[in-house]
Amino acid sequence: MTTTSDATVAVRPADGIHSHVPLTGGRLPRGSAWLVLAGGWAFAGVFFALLWAGGVTTTFSIVGTVFFGTVLFDIVLYVISRIVEGPRRALDRLVTSLVSTAFIIALLPLISLIWTVVVGGMARLDASFFTQSMRNVIGDGGGALHAIMGTLLITLAATIISVPIGLLTSIYLVEYGRGSLAKAITFLVDVMTGIPSIVAGLFTFALFALVLGPAARSGFMGAIALSVLMIPVVVRSSEEILRLVPAELREASYALGVPKWLTILRIVLPTSLAGIVTGVMLAIARVIGETAPLLLVTGFTFSMNYNLFNDRMMTLPVFVYTQYVQAAGVSAQASVDRAWTAALTLIVIMLVLNLAGRLIAKFFAPKRGL
């Protein structure tokens, strides 16, 4: 007679003696995979730190640490799981860890970028960098306050211009647009999505040169150039989010006698607010680092300028470019340090804006449940 349980199966060998063959082995503690991963990274980090200290490499390799530490994690986790849990569970863990490894490898360029910018930007990460401009500064010292303010003002103006136009366009395409006009708008938006940034700058320069002359430069012109790049991103992202709103919500509102415009305002937009904010953040991320159009229509200056409609303004991308160009001079290292710190500041600004956008979306999103 054969009996089966959750853990063992009783078999009758030829000699008539029962033996119990385990179907499952032990189980690793919860969180053991994370501990093995951290251990692999730590071991690889120590190895590359020793190479750096010994002069074998010029810098500490964060990419090598993450990559080889993750590969070591795959091997060690499989061996430990095979010893403790058996071959079937070990194979399952190996496949799962390989998927995680592929994801980490895809992140390696981003990890390398952030690490490089942080290391390079720490040289001038001081109070003077955020409180001073580059006016009358030739060598060391100075700061990027004028560039930070210019970036914030121009990006804010571009957002104010782009979001209403893009959101209203997406509402028309989803709620009202039918026939050839909607198809034409969709086609033009797709074409605008692929426009190079320098073309947007040339368009804005030509537009304002007809009215103000070829010597005109201002922050508002830069905002117009960036809005040309932002609008199609806002339209496409908002359109897809609005289409995800269930039709049952609209129909329930119409059944209660609520007009369509009020349904859109009180039902559709609040329901899709989180996705819309995410799309706006993506649009801002698309343009906040643009250099070419701003060089054409905004120019650059070493002084503070808070007026978007008068004279040139400096932005962080242009500041990084000009500092890199000046790196061939006497104070080359000072210019390079300022460029790296400005790049780090730009990344931090984008990070803060994304966090603020998520908080706003979470606060204003419709509450679920009782």
Domains in the chain: ranges and CATH? 32-122 (no CATH), 145-363 (1.10.3720.10)
List the structure tokens of 61.
């390799």
Residues 230-245 have pLDDT tens digits of: 999 999 999 999 999 9
pLDDT at 59: 86
Confidence of residue 274 (pLDDT cuts 50, 70, 90): confident
Lowest mean pLDDT among 8-22, 201-215, 234-248, 299-313: 8-22
pLDDT at 329: 65
**Amino acid identity at 122:** M
pLDDT at 57: 86
Phi, psi torsion values for 8, nearest 5 degrees: -135, 165
Map residue 10 onto helix, strand or coil.
strand
H-run or E-run covering 131: helix 127-131
Distance (Å, whole) CA 30 – CA 28? 6
pLDDT at 23: 43
pLDDT-above-90 percentage for the chain: 62
Distance (Å, whole) CA 346 – CA 341? 9
4 beta partners:
9
Mean pLDDT, all residues of the chain: 87
**Helices 87-121 and 332-364, packing angle to 10 deg:** 120
pLDDT at 11: 45
pLDDT over 60 (residue 7): no
Rounded mean pLDDT, 193-216: 90
Residues 341-355 have pLDDT tens digits of: 999 999 999 999 888
Residues 156-187 have pLDDT tens digits of: 999 999 999 999 999 999 999 888 999 999 99
pLDDT at 16: 45
pLDDT at 361: 77
Strands (E), the chain: 8-11, 19-22
pLDDT over 70 (residue 144): yes
Confidence of residue 8 (pLDDT cuts 50, 70, 90): very low
pLDDT at 328: 67
pLDDT at 55: 87
